[in-house]
Structure 1
Amino acid sequence: MRLRKRYGVAAVMLLVIAIGTKVGISQTQRTEFCLSCHEMRVYQKELEASPHAKDAQGNPIGCTQCHVPGSGVVRMMAAKSFMGIKDVWVHYVQPRETWDRAAMQPAARRFVDDANCLACHNDLTRNAKGDGPVSAEGKLAHDSYLGKNGQARSGCAGCHMNMAHLPPFDARLPHNAKFKSKLEEMPK
């Protein structure tokens, strides 16, 4: 009887842990959770002005659609844990005036999983709007990414910079002019 009671208590505890984990994950997947830290608001403003503000169905794109791996629970939990600890550290310990977005950019790009990009952009022969083929340069780059003409050293975010966020030092680049003007038109 004692053994049965222990198994019962263990089963209830496992159930509570499983439910707690599921609720915790779903709550921290919400964009509102990400924006609860004031330093993330600049990224929200940039996203709202970007080409990635909405998906093909017109729904707003959330932070985790790009920044949390969607392929596999272990990868997702590892990424969420690492980024969560890093963000808490930055929020409470690192003074804002020491932030250097140029230095942070390469690391941030590593947290944009190619599988997340490919969930929406699954046909790499078509342009982003899907209304025509990619450019000749894009075809070569995508063929290299797919291993058809060599091997790419970069993932999606390595070539497609400033698709959702536009730091001031990249706003000066001519190919970001449209994004920059849209960002400047937004209310402060």
Structure 2
Amino acid sequence: MMKKIYLAFAGVFVLGFASYGAMNVVFDYTNEMEFCTSCHSMKINYEEYKETAHYNNASGVRATCSDCHVPKEFVPKVTAKIIAVKDIYHEFLGNFAVSSEIKNDPEAYLAHFEANRWRMANIVWDKMKANDSAECRTCHSYDAMDFDQQGRSAQRRHPRAIADGETCIDCHKGVAHHEPMEPLVSKAELPY
């Protein structure tokens, strides 16, 4: 009887270890830049990103999509991956945020993207604000900054941001993609 219990525990352990390993392989694959940018819906974001210092810089260090959009801690990472499954599902269906007619017309697709950019950006900004820009802080740390080596504006603003409890995204919203313009409020929406 004890031998069967030991075998059952060993089987559960091996199965759990194999599942964890398989999950990590899937997570690593879905964190690759090639995977993230293989979707049609990410082409605009990818082209914008290639214009930034996170892609092309003197040090040769390149932040990838997952560095900024996927948490490093296990539970938040799993949560982010589960939420992202809906995006992959809609991409495979061919209806990610747009109809196939718009998707196949570059001008209409760009117009649709721009019309929704503010809403989409705010979803990401709100998440980053809520987690104290955790993804940024895996590479950038106030403690490691040499304020004397920074530009005059950063020399003034970073110490003030620390004192005020601000997080990275409070000031750096357009750092990796074009910062969208806030939509104008129509006169019909004004409260007076």
Instruction: Provide the TM-score with structure 2 as the length reference.
Output: 0.68
1:167-186 to 2 correspondences below 5 Å: 169=181
Per the TM alignment, residue 119 of structure 1 is displaced from its structure 2 partner at its CA by: 2.8
Which structure: larger Rg?
2
Per the TM alignment, residue 64 of structure 1 is displaced from its structure 2 partner at its CA by: 0.8
Say which structure, 1 or 2, has more relative contact order (CA 8 Å, 6+ apart): 1
User: Tell me, what secondary structure is at the counterpart of 2:125?
Assistant: helix
User: What is the distance in 2 between the residues matched to 1:137 and 1:60?
Assistant: 25
User: Tell me, what secondary structure is at the counterpart of 1:51?
Assistant: coil
Give the counterpart of 1:43 among 42, 45, 48. Answer: 45
Aligned length: 159
8 Å contact kept, 2:117–2:180: no
Question: In structure 2, what is the equivalent of residue 21 of structure 1?
Answer: 23
Task: Spell out, residue by residue over 1:120-179, the C-alpha distance to the aligned partner (whole angstroms, 9 max, x if none).
Answer: 32137656x94455243444233212xxxxxx4xx3223211100015648xxxxxxxxx
User: What is the distance in 1 between the residues matched to 2:162 and 2:156?
Assistant: 10
Aligned-pair RMSD on alpha carbons? 2.9
User: Tell me, what secondary structure is at the counterpart of 1:49?
Assistant: coil
Q: Percent identity?
A: 24
The amino acid across from 2:169 in the alignment is: A
Question: In structure 1, what is the equivalent of residue 80 of structure 2?
Answer: 79
Question: In structure 1, what is the equivalent of residue 139 of structure 2?
Answer: 120
Question: In structure 2, what is the equivalent of residue 142 of structure 1?
Answer: 162
Per the TM alignment, residue 67 of structure 1 is displaced from its structure 2 partner at its CA by: 0.8
Unpaired runs of 5+ in structure 1? 146-151, 171-188
8 Å contact kept, 2:121–2:180: no
The amino acid across from 1:161 in the alignment is: K
User: What is the distance in 1 between the residues matched to 2:157 and 2:97?
Assistant: 41
8 Å contact kept, 1:43–1:165: yes
8 Å contact kept, 1:126–1:132: no
Unpaired runs of 5+ in structure 2? 103-111, 183-192
User: What is the distance in 1 between the residues matched to 2:155 and 2:71?
Assistant: 28
